Amino acid sequence: MTRPRGTLIRNDTVTRINHWITALCFVLLMISGLSMFDPLLYWLSAFFGGGQWARQAHPWIGIVLLISYSGLIIQFWRDNLWNMDDVRWMMAIRRVLANEEEGVPEVARFNAGQKFVFWSMAILVPVLFVTGLVIWEYYFGTWTSIPTQRAALLIHSLCAIGAILIWIVHVYAAIWVRGSMRAMTQGYVTPGWAWRHHRKWFRSLVATGSSGPRPNAVRREAGE
């Protein structure tokens, strides 16, 4: 991927591929899952060639998502560790929402909102996976008792709705904060973007002479 001179790498190629595999799986799971959740949305199963196909595909896509999201956890967990700055940032959320980021505590690679999305999914995805196995009729229909399966269905549905709500926040934030989408498609951001939204991250890159995404990353562009 060509990257304009002077820009910073926000997400490297492996991360971006990993992210979009996860995103595709999530969308497919959402469509097939909602088709089985509410009769009003049963028509969504048509995207899979009918209800039988949606039902059959759903758990397999779930397995891919679990593996894929594990990859994201490995790459992102360190930068998502919670600290007191995140609490202060959350206290100033009204200013953030009003696009007035001056005076809001400086943010490292991820802000508290992004960390919330990350950790919520890190909890919800495994719960969805385990409850999903319990209700996977074809392979595990006889492994657990029916009351257990009923509980698993309810937990699975509630967690899925939670995950969809968080996904909406995630998608909207990417549309709202201009430049974020390119950070995940082409992988780079301008220094001004980094300064405006992730000042601590920007400072750490400048201090170590890194072009991102982590402060200790080697320079990839000769002569820069």
Answer yes or no: are the C-beta atoms of 13 and 224 closer than 8 Å: no
Q: Which two tokens stand for residue 197?
A: 């939204």
Query: Which one, 78 or 103, has the nearer CB to another protein?
Result: 103
Residues 155-214 that bind another protein (CB under 8 A): 157-158, 161, 164-165, 168-169, 172, 175-179, 190-197, 202-203, 206-207, 209
The site that binds another protein (CB under 8 A) totals a number of residues, namely: 56
- Could you give the string, one character per residue 2-31, with x where binding to another protein holds by CB under 8 A and - elsewhere? ----x-------------------------
In the residue annotation, 170 being an active-site residue is answered as yes
d(CA 122, CA 134): 19
* 222 contacts another protein (rule: CB under 8 A): no
Asked if 101 touches another protein (CB under 8 A), the answer is yes
Half-sphere exposure of 158 (CA within 13 A, CB side): 8
Do 212 and 220 contact (CB within 8 A), yes or no? Answer: no
Which of 19, 170, 197, 198 is labelled catalytic?
Answer: 170
Strand partners, 188: 9
Cβ neighbours for 96, distance < 8 A, ≥ 6 positions apart: 89, 104, 111, 113
Binding mask 46-85 for another protein (x = CB under 8 A): ----xxx-xxx-----------------------------
Residue 194: CB atoms within 10 Å: 23
CA distance 134 to 69: 20
Q: Which residues bind another protein (CB under 8 A)?
A: 6, 35-40, 42, 45, 50-52, 54-56, 97-99, 101, 135, 137-138, 141, 146-147, 149-151, 153-154, 157-158, 161, 164-165, 168-169, 172, 175-179, 190-197, 202-203, 206-207, 209
